[in-house]
Amino acid sequence: MFIPLHDANSLKRIKLQYVTIGLIVANTLIWLCTNFGSEQFATAAVYGLGYIPSVAFDTVELPPGMAIVPEDLTYVSYAFLHGDIFHLGGNMLFLWVFGDNVEDALGHIKFLIFYMLCAVAGALFHGLVATQSEVPLIGASGAIAGVVTAYLILHPRVKIWILAFGRIPLRIPAYITLALWILFQFVMFAAGGEEQISWACHIGGILAGAVLVLVLRSRDVPLLDREIVTPRAVVTKQPSAVRPVDTAPAPRWGRQ
Model confidence pLDDT, tens digit, residues 132-172: 999 999 999 999 999 999 999 999 999 999 988 777 898 99
Nearest Cα to 60, choosing from 126, 139, 138, 135? 135
Q: Is residue 224 part of a domain?
A: no
Q: Is residue 247 part of a domain?
A: no
The number of domains in the chain is: 1
Q: Is residue 229 part of a domain?
A: no
Using DSSP's 3-state secondary structure scheme, residue 242 falls into: coil
Q: Is residue 240 part of a domain?
A: no
| Distance from chain centroid for Cα 51 | 20
Give mean pLDDT, residues 33-60. Answer: 90
CATH number at residue 107: 1.20.1540.10
Q: Is the pLDDT of residue 68 over 80?
A: yes
User: DSSP label at 251?
Assistant: P
Q: Is residue 222 part of a domain?
A: no
Domain that holds residue 58: 2-216
Tell me how far apart the alpha carbons of residues 156 and 162 are, in angstroms, rounded to a whole number. 15
DSSP assignment of 171-233 equals EEEHHHHHHHHHHHHHHHHHH---TTS-HHHHHHHHHHHHHHHHHHS-TTPPSS---------
Tell me what percent of the residues of the chain surpass a pLDDT of 70. 87
Q: Is residue 252 part of a domain?
A: no
Q: Is residue 251 part of a domain?
A: no
Q: In what order do the strands lie in the sheet with 168-173?
A: 2-6, 159-164, 168-173
Using DSSP's 3-state secondary structure scheme, residue 40 falls into: helix
Q: Is residue 221 part of a domain?
A: no
pLDDT at residue number 195: 72
Tell me what percent of the residues of the chain surpass a pLDDT of 90. 65
